[in-house]
Amino acid sequence: MVTSTLQRVVLVAKHASFQSRCCVVSSRVQYSTVYDSNEKTFDKILIANRGEIACRVMKTCKKMGIKTVAVHSDVDASAVHVKMADEAVCVGPAPTNKSYLNMDAIMDAIRKTGSQAVHPGYGFLSENKEFAKRLVSSAGIYNCYPVMIKASAGGGGKGMRIAWNDDETREGFRLSSQEAASSFGDDRLLIEKFVDNPRHIEIQVLADKHGNALWLNERECSIQRRNQKVVEEAPSTFLDPETRRAMGEQAVQLAKAVQYSSAGTVEFLVDSNKNFYFLEMNTRLQVEHPITECITGLDLVQQMIRVAKGFPLLHKQEDIPINGWAIESRVYAEDPYKSFGLPSIGRLSQYQEPINLPKVRVDSGIQEGSDISIYYDPMISKLVTYGATRAEALQRMEDALDNYVIRGVTHNIPLLREIITHPRFISGDITTNFLPEEYPEGFKGHQLTSEGRRELVATAAALYVSAQLRSQRFLGNLRVSTTPQERRQWELCVELEKGSHAVAVSRSGSTFTVEVDGVKVEVSGEWNLASALLPVTINRTPRVLQCLSRDAGGDITLQYLGTQFKVRVLSQLVSTLSAHMPEKVPEDTSSILRSPMPGSVVAVSVKPGDVVAEGQEICVIEAMKMQNSLIAAKAAKVKSVHCKAGETVGEGDLLVQLE
């Protein structure tokens, strides 16, 4: 009987003669797992996925002495997971339905490489419809709103929408089915009752082929955007021991009822009274599995491989602890200022993970120089921090985000840092509506307090002066030997967020005293202008900023408390003269439609001469397996159309112009 996620890959391909020879494993920081070299599992495993999950599986396989085979599309030929593998096989071109969803090509790779097992990771084939969840029935009335429209074969928020009326149901059905077909090769949908304002809490289960099953505690996954998780933690601040046990026991009961064997996740919606409602069971490894590994000490990938080979579980329920607290932030190549995250593409010109910090784990499948393309999920990494307490784990996450260097693509670190430092999140008062409730007008970045503004202005002024002093030196000496004694005081003007501040700067060694709006701020640091990180101490408080750019004209971009701020530092004379420069007239955005992100045009609904109403769909853009409907900002006649279905467009490209 097929009881694991990976076996369904073989089953769907219908190669019966091959089934008996190839087992399939459904899909780190493990802190206490022992890798027994005498425990023989598999000689070779093929990983039918890409990115960080492929790399993560390969790391465990290496520890277990198992050779690995990577599959890849043609554009992924130089990807990190390909370099890590012992063997690699190209399974097709970039589109997922021709490569990572191409079961025939993957089956052929399994045969050619002699792989004994396959690990699908998550997404792609791990979401395939052929692995049915049996003995689970749901009864409900669907003639009332709201309803959830979701891909039957999917996960990760793709192919999922909430509809509050008939029109939204029709629109959601169309877009969700298209996304589902693109992401999973299956456009079938489910429609179920939507529970408004819940928490999303899931139970990790682990079961073997001998009738044993465990629940490995819960994960709190309520921080979401577009139904996709953004920040997760384990355990949940909300569950008491009784509710945790009840949810865990029901999750194990479900796994046993369907004779499931592997690691899996049973997801629930939990209301304010701790009533919980079954949502679905994911018969694979979840993106957020590392936080469970942190608090239990188990390596879930190792456990899956052992179970697939037929070994019994090594632990009993009473052996499963909750040791400490773990937080995971999903770091994406996305612009968080656009719908909480529209995709960004580009090459990672500079990339530095904060793995030098204690109790920090980064699961990634990229490196400096890697390309983020429109073809695949925009996840850069999973950033995980661990501590003895939740407060300790959160502080480490704050430090890790400040020390994470990502250049070349827009990323969502500003949003992640705002979430984990938000008073409501810190208190544990969260639901799946957290983001739209706290940012009803969209995410705007960190909002500076008067103290924060002074800190940023003072640091920018100190950095500007440090750069000026550095430019006067050559190999540690002054460029001109006759230069008089170095200046120790400066009168400057700092422009920030349409505000102007007259500042006075004095220096003593590596410490600057900056008077901002009559308040003195002391800033000290090493001022290494060649470093990606700028560690400073501001009024005895340590901070880590990043200088993203600076030029001779005094324009400086600083990442401060996670958010990028553009600052201009000028001398008093230049500031006075710049007031006479003409201002650039902003573009009238109501008459033009530009692409908010790089992607491909799925559909264009208008032509020149058409009259459109405000809010009417103009076109649909797909990027990284997500479809976005673009609408008219006003009622007008279409003047010109600059795109057509099937074309690739860049961020900011003109799509349609209105009269």
Average confidence (pLDDT) over 572-590:
80
Model pLDDT for residues 332-367, shown as the tens digit of each residue: 999 999 888 888 888 999 999 999 999 999 999 999
Query: What three-state secondary structure class fits 452?
Result: helix
Cβ-contact 559, 459 below 8 angstroms:
no
Whether the pLDDT of residue 329 is over 90: the answer is yes
Which residues are CB-neighbours of 575 under 8 A, at least 6 positions away? 493, 495, 500
Q: Provide the percentage of residues in the chain whose pLDDT is more than 90.
A: 62
Whether the pLDDT of residue 552 is over 50: the answer is yes
| Catalytic residue status for 284 | yes
pLDDT value of residue 144 = 52
Alpha-carbon 497 to chain mean position: 28
Whether the pLDDT of residue 288 is over 50: the answer is yes
CB burial readout 74-85, b (16+ within 10 A) else e: eebeebbbbebb
pLDDT band at 636 (very low <50, low <70, confident <90, very high): very high
DSSP notation for 605-633: ---TT-EE-TT-EEEEEEETTEEEEEE-S
636 burial via Cβ count (<10 Å: 0-12, 13-18, 19+) = middle
The 8-class DSSP code of residue 37 comes to T
Q: Provide the percentage of residues in the chain whose pLDDT is more than 70.
A: 89
Sign, CA dihedral 141-143-144-145, equals positive
Q: The tokens 């005498």 sit on which residue?
A: 38
pLDDT value of residue 476 = 56
Q: How far apart (Å, rounded) are the C-alpha atoms in residues 243 and 238?
A: 9
Average confidence (pLDDT) over 477-496:
73
pLDDT value of residue 477 = 59
194 versus 347: which is more confidently predicted? 347
Which among 199, 225, 284, 330 is annotated as catalytic? Answer: 284
Model pLDDT for residues 426-470, shown as the tens digit of each residue: 999 999 999 999 999 999 999 999 999 999 999 999 999 999 888
Whether the pLDDT of residue 299 is over 60: the answer is yes
pLDDT value of residue 590 = 83
Whether the pLDDT of residue 4 is over 50: the answer is no
| Predicted TM-score (pTM) of this structure | 0.79
pLDDT band at 9 (very low <50, low <70, confident <90, very high): very low
Selection from 344, 435, 354 nearest residue 397 by Cα: 354
Model pLDDT for residues 237-256, shown as the tens digit of each residue: 999 999 999 999 999 999 99
pLDDT value of residue 96 = 87
The chain-wide mean pLDDT, for the chain, equals: 86
Count how many Cα atoms sit within 13 Å of the Cα of residue 27 in the half-sphere of its side chain.
27
Whether the pLDDT of residue 312 is over 90: the answer is yes
Alpha-carbon 140 to chain mean position: 33
Q: Which long-range contacts (C-beta less than 8 Å, at least 24 apart) are formed by 644-649? A: 644/601, 644/604, 645/601, 645/602, 645/603, 645/604, 646/600, 646/601, 647/600, 647/601, 648/374, 648/598, 648/599, 648/600, 648/601, 649/595, 649/598, 649/599, 649/600, 649/601, 649/621
Average confidence (pLDDT) over 481-487:
59
Domains by residue range for the chain, with CATH: 44-139 (3.40.50.20), 147-193 (no CATH), 200-439 (3.30.470.20), 450-471+487-579 (3.30.700.30), 592-658 (2.40.50.100)
pLDDT value of residue 13 = 25
Q: How far apart (Å, rounded) are the C-alpha atoms in residues 344 and 592?
A: 21
Model pLDDT for residues 137-190, shown as the tens digit of each residue: 332 323 357 788 888 776 666 778 888 888 888 888 888 888 888 777 888 888
Whether the pLDDT of residue 23 is over 60: the answer is no
Model pLDDT for residues 506-525, shown as the tens digit of each residue: 999 899 999 998 999 999 99
Whether the pLDDT of residue 77 is over 80: the answer is yes
